[in-house]
Amino acid sequence: MTHFLDIHTTSPEDLRGIIDQAGAMKQARKDRPKGAPDDDQPLKGRMVALIFEKPSTRTRVSFDVGVRQMGGETMVLSGADMQLGHGETIADTARVMSRYVDLIMIRTFEEQTLLEMAEHATVPVINGLTNRTHPCQIMADVMTFEEHRGPIAGKKVVWSGDGNNVFASFAHAAGQFGFDLTFTGPETLDPEKTWLDWAAAKGRPVTIDRNPERAVAGADLVVTDTWVSMHDPQSARERRHNQLRPYQVNEALMAHAKPDALFMHCLPAHRDDEATSAVMDGPHSVIFDEAENRLHAQKAVMRYCLGV
């Protein structure tokens, strides 16, 4: 059984293979004559369940389109459609779903839900996001960087803001792909120590620097994410804004990075909060390439899981 649960639980060789296949599939679609049928249909006759306990735009659309492009069919289920962990145990849901579908992608809150699903499913399970990690996003980010700047190994990546689940997967990627990672943000929003320890054990300790200008100096890539979650109460939103305002990615901050540095944001963005529109729409930004590459990276992840 080949699951894709996290970057740190997938071998560097397999991760590299996924990135390479994603790039090859993207190029093949570009090279295909307009209107010509797509002969590459590795998911033909396959059914993929897309489970969303959390709302989604990019994850839902990119997985749905990706399955269809590869000849498969999708069944999209929300938390309201299921009794996941409430009326029925997650283990029983996993066993039942495995009798109906060939692959399960789940976007959920608790990591334990993902892990329990994978433990009891008899088909591959893909992590579409949990509160702790977001591996599919970072696969797209690595792919995007390498499209524009070549191998990411040895490069300096700086994360500015909240040490959240997306950052956690960047820490995993630093260890697996061999790049240097710096975190700049308030101490109250530091990354989970577990992930910092993991990266350090892989020989890629994360640098923490509270001074954003100093942290960004010489960066090849600057990354940020939204400051607030859709589930945060108003009081928490205001508190987070006050803590994170010094870490906004603006033109002045980007001026400290390398002249050809890239800027990424996984979207959705609150423009002129975590990053200014001038940066998001400016010459450093590759945010829409990054969003597109969710499609290609996830297609390669699905092929990896199904061995097709």
Active site residues: 107, 134, 137, 225, 266, 294
Q: How many residues appear in the chain?
A: 308
Residue with tokens 């659309």: 61
List the one residue out of 112, 110, 113, 159 whose CA is nearest residue 137: 159
Distances (CA, A) of 245 to 109, 127, 152, 212, 238: 26, 31, 29, 11, 11
What is the edge-to-edge ordering of all strands in the sheet holding 221-224? Answer: 207-208, 180-184, 156-160, 221-224, 262-265
Q: How many C-beta atoms surround the C-beta of residue 217 within 10 A?
A: 15
3-state secondary structure of 222: strand
3-state secondary structure of 176: helix
